[in-house]
Amino acid sequence: MSPIALVTGGTKGLGLVTAQRLLADGYRVFVCGRNDPGDLGALEFIRCDVRDPQDVAAMVADIRAKAGPVRVLVNNAGGSPPSDAATASPRFAEKIVGLNLMAPLWLSQAVHADMAEHGGSIINISSVSALRPSPGTSVYAAAKGGLLALTRSLANEWGPNIRVNAVVVGYIETEQTETTYGTDEAQSGISRNIGLKRLGRSAEIADAVAYLASDAASYVSGAVLEVHGGGERPAFLDVLEQAGQL
């Protein structure tokens, strides 16, 4: 019987590529979202609002009844539109924190009992926004930073049968690349500022997730794996260059 994996937000973008990679690795893969995406091939869709703990518990129980206990959980669902921190409404902030921090907690709680008994791996998808200032998405950055703290704490609290890790995602190409990063010229400018001089590929994040889910990472827990191409060049260096001081 194939082990069971659940990828939240796995109907498109990075989540879909990750779900397809786990499927190729031999998992029976469930994906969830609020809207049915239609045909996903061998991936199995369950409608769920991951911000609702009761909805989450019902989904995990449904998966258990259909296929067995979840062995790999990828908390991928997340994101945020731009928002000025000075005027972000309480409702907006609650939704962003709910999706990016509380939802991974509800999902982790929902799979905890089965994983504690049968073993399992939880992989939280975070962002470079958690590691550096993120003006315009401060609430999102705070939530993703909290997700890293949650990762480390759960890894220590829930061992030895449950491993909990995080992947910090950099600038990644998806079907929404132009919407996210602008024109080809803008993307080239962003790329020049990254150590590896290019945007990342969704498959490269999926590779990191597949590693953390596998036995090759059997002694990796509480880790934060930064998949960001070497990070961003500090802006002050450009200022010094323009001033002729570098």
**Could you report the per-residue pLDDT of 193-241, keeping only the tens digit for each?**
999 999 999 999 999 999 999 999 999 999 999 999 999 988 888 888 8
Find, among 215, 94, 217, the residue nearest to 167 by Cα. 217
Encoding tokens for residue 129? 């926004």
Q: For residue 213, what is the enclosing H or E element?
A: helix 202-213
Distance CA 185, CA 174 (A): 17
Q: What does the mean pLDDT of the chain come to? A: 95
Distance CA 55, CA 58 (A): 5
The pTM (predicted TM-score) of the whole model is 0.95
Residue 81's pLDDT band (cuts 50, 70, 90): very high
Q: How far is CA 57 from CA 50, 120, 157, 225, in A?
A: 9, 17, 21, 28
Average pLDDT over residues 173-186: 80
Catalytic residue positions, numbered: 140
Encoding tokens for residue 22? 């786990």
Beta-carbon contacts of 79 under 8 Å, excluding residues fewer than 6 positions away, are: 99, 100, 140
Residues in the chain: 246
The confidence score (pLDDT) of residue 105 equals 98
The confidence score (pLDDT) of residue 32 equals 97
Distance CA 235, CA 24 (A): 41
Average pLDDT over residues 39-60: 98
Encoding tokens for residue 199? 């945007």
Distance CA 203, CA 201 (A): 5
